[in-house]
């Protein structure tokens, strides 16, 4: 049963071009190494190590930096214990008008008091500024390090300068130590992010980020097994580039360096536009769509990968629209740390619920 399911998942007819088998990739010529599906399993224990490294980094490096910048952990005000309200809160953080009126009759509380309870309870679950600073500092450090590692490897790779090299002799392309290390490091990092979601304070975007991390892990795993490493390294490098500036802007925001935050966010907006709306579609996606068709020809997995890349490009367009709105406010109003991404408690409970449902698009 297990073997038949595995054979169905890893069907050669689906994943590989015509007249290519997994056996061809498992037995390369002497002195040549091709990617093997089993190698991605090494990322699992490495992900645990990355998770432990993150905890040490946040405790020994990020937290002292936060204290130097006078970013305090803070102790949120705790909501009055109430079994009825807590039960509803676990299913719906912002009750509607009908539910508020029902609770008011059931508890003999006025509606404003119930709204206030939910507002305090939401704030109680929000991570402190110091915790968010530590998390962003860890991601900033990783993205910066892995980006320069990727550039160091890609700079001497012919497919960075001519993407047609991604498809010459595909899938019989030897894997280099640099490619292997880069892929496994990225895969371990995203596995560690998924693990940490279950140990960190649960946030409103929990489900969205869980799906994002799972999709990223699946794409990295399947592109490795399919030996699309050359195109894959380009995709990952392009995405890491703009994330560096986003995390840097977050750090400045948490440290209350407003002008630096605004400037970094504008730089992030520009880098996001160049990498994900120019380089990614017109250089990488173009190569996967048209150059691979010309050199290799389409096969079943080819349609899947191109479909996912185009879905990702659609998300880039949506995200850039949101980023542009924030960047315009940063340029003309100097309000990057507030408005759509504010963590500051609203004076109005209705505004608080409304902003809570949309809060922290990026911060």
DSSP code per residue over 161-199: H-GGGGTTTTT--PPPHHHHHHHHHHHHHHHHHHHHHTT
271-309 b/e with 16+ CB inside 10 Å = b? bbbebbeebbbeebbebbbebbeeebeebebbeebbeeb
Using alpha carbons only, give the angle 76, 200, 117 rounded to the nearest 5 degrees.
35
Amino acid 189: pLDDT? 93
The reply to whether 135 falls in a domain is: yes
Other Cβ atoms less than 10 A from the Cβ of 137: the count is 22
How far apart, in Å, are the Cα atoms of 83 and each of 80, 92, 253?
10, 14, 36
| 277 lies in the same domain as 231 | yes
The reply to whether 19 falls in a domain is: no
Range of the domain at 229: 31-69+127-338
| 43 lies in the same domain as 63 | yes
pLDDT at 53 over 90: yes
Please list, in sequence order, all residues whose beta carbon lies within 8 angstroms of the beta carbon of residue 295, skipping any fewer than 6 positions away: 164, 167, 168, 170
Whether the bond between 171 and the residue before it is cis, its omega within 30 degrees of 0, is yes
| 291 lies in the same domain as 245 | yes
| 39 lies in the same domain as 182 | yes
CA trace torsion 301, 303, 305, 308 (10° rounding):
-140
Distance, in Å, from the CA atom of 319 to the CA atom of 361, rounded to the nearest integer, reads: 9
At 109-139, the pLDDT tens digits run 888 888 888 888 887 777 788 888 999 999 9
| 192 lies in the same domain as 169 | yes
The reply to whether 21 falls in a domain is: no
CA trace torsion 265, 270, 271, 276 (10° rounding):
120
104-131 b/e with 16+ CB inside 10 Å = b? beeeebeeeebbbbbbebbbeebbbbbb
The reply to whether 297 falls in a domain is: yes
The reply to whether 170 falls in a domain is: yes
Q: Please identify which residue in the block is written with the tokens 């998390």.
A: 135
Q: What is the mean pLDDT of the chain?
A: 84
| 167 lies in the same domain as 287 | yes
At 135-149, the pLDDT tens digits run 999 999 999 999 999
| 89 lies in the same domain as 171 | no
The reply to whether 258 falls in a domain is: yes
| 120 lies in the same domain as 35 | no
The reply to whether 96 falls in a domain is: yes
Q: How far is CA 355 from the centre of its chain?
A: 22
Distance, in Å, from the CA atom of 43 to the CA atom of 71, rounded to the nearest integer, reads: 34
Structurally, the chain folds into a number of domains equal to: 2
| 94 lies in the same domain as 165 | no
| 236 lies in the same domain as 113 | no
The answer to whether 319 and 362 have CB atoms below 8 angstroms apart is no
Question: What percent helix, strand, coil does the chain show, rounded to 5?
Answer: 75, 0, 25
Look at 154 and 96; give whichever has higher pLDDT: 154
The answer to whether 265 and 326 have CB atoms below 8 angstroms apart is yes
At 174-221, the pLDDT tens digits run 999 999 999 999 999 999 988 888 777 666 667 777 877 888 888 898
At 208-247, the pLDDT tens digits run 778 778 888 888 988 998 899 999 999 999 999 999 999 9
| 103 lies in the same domain as 199 | no
The reply to whether 351 falls in a domain is: no
For the whole model, what pTM was predicted? 0.81
Domain boundary among 91, 125, 159: 125
At 319-357, the pLDDT tens digits run 898 888 877 876 676 555 443 433 333 334 444 454 434
pLDDT band at 3 (very low <50, low <70, confident <90, very high): low
| 286 lies in the same domain as 328 | yes
Domain harbouring 97, CATH code? 1.10.10.60
């Amino acid at each position: 049963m297990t073997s038949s399911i595995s054979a169905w998942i890893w069907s050669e007819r689906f994943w590989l071009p015509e007249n290519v088998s997994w056996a061809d990739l498992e037995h390369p010529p002497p002195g040549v190494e091709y990617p093997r599906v089993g190698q991605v399993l090494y990322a699992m224990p490495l992900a645990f190590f990355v998770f432990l490294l993150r905890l040490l980094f946040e405790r020994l490096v990020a937290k002292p930096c936060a204290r130097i910048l006078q970013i305090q952990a803070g102790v949120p005000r705790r909501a009055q214990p109430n079994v009825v309200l807590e039960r509803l809160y676990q299913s719906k953080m912002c009750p509607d008008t009908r539910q508020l009126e029902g609770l008011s009759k059931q508890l003999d509380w006025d509606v404003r008091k119930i709204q206030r309870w939910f507002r305090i309870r939401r704030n109680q679950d929000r991570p402190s500024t110091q915790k968010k600073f530590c998390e962003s500092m860890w991601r900033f450090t990783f993205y910066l390090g892995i980006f320069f590692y990727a550039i160091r490897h890609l700079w001497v790779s012919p497919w960075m300068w001519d993407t047609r090299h991604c498809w010459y002799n595909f899938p019989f392309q030897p894997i280099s130590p640099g490619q292997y290390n880069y892929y496994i490091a990225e895969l371990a990092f995203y596995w560690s992010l998924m693990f940490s979601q279950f140990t960190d304070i649960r946030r409103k975007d929990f489900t969205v980020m869980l799906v994002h991390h799972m999709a990223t892990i699946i794409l990295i795993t399947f592109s490795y097994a399919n030996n699309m490493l050359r195109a894959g390294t380009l995709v990952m490098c392009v995405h890491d580039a703009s994330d560096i500036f986003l995390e840097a802007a977050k750090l400045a925001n948490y440290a209350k360096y407003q002008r630096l935050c605004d400037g970094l966010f504008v730089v992030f907006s520009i880098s996001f536009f160049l990498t994900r709306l120019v380089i990614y579609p017109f250089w990488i996606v173009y190569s996967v769509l048209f150059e691979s068709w010309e050199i290799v020809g389409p096969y079943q997995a080819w349609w899947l990968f191109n479909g996912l890349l185009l879905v990702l490009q659609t998300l880039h367009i949506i995200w850039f629209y949101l980023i542009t709105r924030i960047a315009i406010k940063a340029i003309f109003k100097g309000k990057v740390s507030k408005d759509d991404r504010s963590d500051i408690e609203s004076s109005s409970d209705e505004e608080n619920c409304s902003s809570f449902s949309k809060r922290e698009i990026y911060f």
